[in-house]
Amino acid sequence: MTLRWISCRVSIVVAAIAAIALSDALVHAVVAQTPFGAPRPAASAVQQTGGIIGWLLAKQSEFYREMSGAIRAAKNDGSAVTTLLGISFLYGVFHAAGPGHGKAVISSYLVANEETARRGIVLSFASAFLQALVAVLIVGVGAVLLNVTAKTMCSTERVIEIVSYALIAAFGARLVWTKGRGFIGALQRERSGGVAGPGLVPAMSHAHRSAVAHGHSHAHHDHGHAAHDHHSHASHAHEHHHHDHAHVHDEHCGHNHGPTPDQLAGPGGWSRGLGAIVAVGLRPCSGAILVLVFALAQGLFWAGVAATFVMGLGTAITVTAIALIAVSGKGLARRLAAGREGGGVLVMRGLEFGAAGLVLLLGGGLLLGYLSAERVTCF
């Protein structure tokens, strides 16, 4: 019992460290970004200095500047289109390393949920594709069909931007709600001596119940099957997944893991992912809009459209890379936590809760203007 008490305290401390680390990173992000109105000389030092970020910025600026020349060249020389597409792709790769493009949101979302690398890739590509599509639609409908002014297009962009940020915040709030319950559930279970029981947290969702039960059943391996049976009653709706579970158990005997991917892909799984795609992908990249309008002015709108989608492809690759780092980061945390008594369930739930909070803070920060991604140009 004393040991249990110690492990309980330790996990609370670890959860607190995790929360502090997450909030520190966020505060850092908030402070580093200043709204347009408040110039901070230090900010310009960041991008002019060397290092990886300086190099990335220099590269993307270079590709961006080359884009207009490439579009001009494509007017007279068809082969220049290849150059344009090459530049667009590289621009996308480098540009996505900057703010925006949903890296933070997608990564946090992946950490908050028990997401697979495969889903991370799909989410990244789908949201990048949607971003490109929205840019093409704004310019296609606004400039080509209606011939509106830049000011009108810009206002449209702003509205879309606000909607996108509000969606991210709402999405984060929902994650905080479910993950918060999971975290509190894990806390309660830890306090009550580690005996998993559905009765303890009656309000918990099915997915969580089984997720928690799994972590547990593995940590106390000898109890594993009993716990599982215990839960089969509560998770009637997931009965068809039981076979999978059993299978995975055999495969990763002794490993701690959450619900299987297809469990998440089940009820509400992909539609929840769709929420992330829309929230992130709705907001187009200002660079793409400028390139599209320029291409249109040069009478080569189609080249602009092609460049935008290739740009999106480049963006997707970078976002995927970062999303994969986030997923494997969580995997590492899970492996480290698995050695702990109780399987580190509390730690993992705490981590997920923190990541969910990050999505909410990112959305809220962007919405209220504390954080700025790429500013929409209206001037």
Partner 1 sequence: MMRLFSFAIVLLAGFVAQPNDAQAHPHVSVTSTSELIYATDGSVTGIRHAWTFDDLFSAYAIQGLDTKTKGVYTREDLAPLAQVNVDSLKEFAYFTTARSGARKEKFGDPVDYFLEYKDSKLVLTFTLPLKVPAKTQELVLEVYDPTYFVAFALADKEPLKLVGAPANCKLAIQKPAESKPQQTLSEQNFLNGENANYGANFANRMTVACQ
Interface positions, 43-72, toward partner 1 (CB under 8 A): 43-48, 53, 56-57, 60-61, 64-65, 67-68
**Which span sits near partner 1 by CB under 8 A: 42-50, 207-215, 225-233, 263-271?**
42-50
Residue 129 contacts partner 1 per CB under 8 A? no
Q: Distance from first CA to last CA of the chain, Å, rounded?
A: 66
DSSP string, 251-292: HTTT----S-HHHHSTTTHHHHHHHHHHHHHTSPPHHHHHHH
Residue 12 contacts partner 1 per CB under 8 A? no
Residue 303 contacts partner 1 per CB under 8 A? no
One of 8, 74, 87, 98 touching partner 1 (CB under 8 A): 98
Residue 29 contacts partner 1 per CB under 8 A? yes
CA-wise closest residue to 357 among 100, 9, 21: 21
Name the minimum Å distance from CB 67 to partner 1.
7
**Which span sits near partner 1 by CB under 8 A: 77-85, 199-207, 213-221, 296-304?**
296-304
Residue 378 contacts partner 1 per CB under 8 A? yes
Residue 65 sits at the vertex; the CA angle it makes with 64 and 66, to the nearest 5 degrees, is: 90
One of 322, 345, 346, 360 touching partner 1 (CB under 8 A): 322
One of 134, 358, 360, 367 touching partner 1 (CB under 8 A): 358
Residue 156 contacts partner 1 per CB under 8 A? no
Helix 224-232 vs helix 242-251: crossing angle, to nearest 10 = 170
Residue 368 contacts partner 1 per CB under 8 A? no
Name the minimum Å distance from CB 139 to partner 1.
9
Number of neighbouring beta carbons within 10 Å of residue 155: 14
By the 8 A CB rule, do 308 and 136 touch?
A: yes
Residue 215 contacts partner 1 per CB under 8 A? no
Output 10 or 122, the one with its CB closest to partner 1.
10
Query: What would you measure as the largest C-alpha separation in the chain, in angstroms?
Result: 80
One of 8, 74, 90, 111 touching partner 1 (CB under 8 A): 111
One of 305, 326, 346, 360 touching partner 1 (CB under 8 A): 326
Residue 246 contacts partner 1 per CB under 8 A? no
Give the gyration radius of the chain's Cα atoms: 24
Provide the residue type at 179 as one letter: K
Site for partner 1 in 133-152 (CB under 8 A): 143, 147-152
**Which span sits near partner 1 by CB under 8 A: 30-38, 206-214, 246-254, 260-268?**
30-38
By the 8 A CB rule, do 186 and 352 touch?
A: no
One of 330, 342, 343, 364 touching partner 1 (CB under 8 A): 330
Output 224 or 344, the one with its CB closest to partner 1.
344
By the 8 A CB rule, do 215 and 340 touch?
A: no
234 Cβ contact partners less than 8 Å away, ≥ 6 residues apart = 198, 206, 209
- Tokens representing residue 54 in the block: 């300086």
CA distance 133 to 142: 14
**Which span sits near partner 1 by CB under 8 A: 9-17, 173-181, 189-197, 202-210?**
9-17
Output 24 or 262, the one with its CB closest to partner 1.
24
Residue 7 contacts partner 1 per CB under 8 A? no
**Which span sits near partner 1 by CB under 8 A: 126-134, 205-213, 219-227, 355-363?**
355-363
93 Cβ contact partners less than 8 Å away, ≥ 6 residues apart = 314, 315, 317, 318
Name the minimum Å distance from CB 360 to partner 1.
13
By the 8 A CB rule, do 196 and 216 touch?
A: yes
DSSP string, 9-53: HHHHHHHHHHHHHHHHHHHHHHHH---TTS--HHHHHHHHS-HHH
Residue 226 contacts partner 1 per CB under 8 A? no
CA distance 118 to 324: 9
Residue 160 contacts partner 1 per CB under 8 A? no
Output 204 or 356, the one with its CB closest to partner 1.
356
303 Cβ contact partners less than 8 Å away, ≥ 6 residues apart = 71, 74, 81, 84, 295
Residue 178 contacts partner 1 per CB under 8 A? no
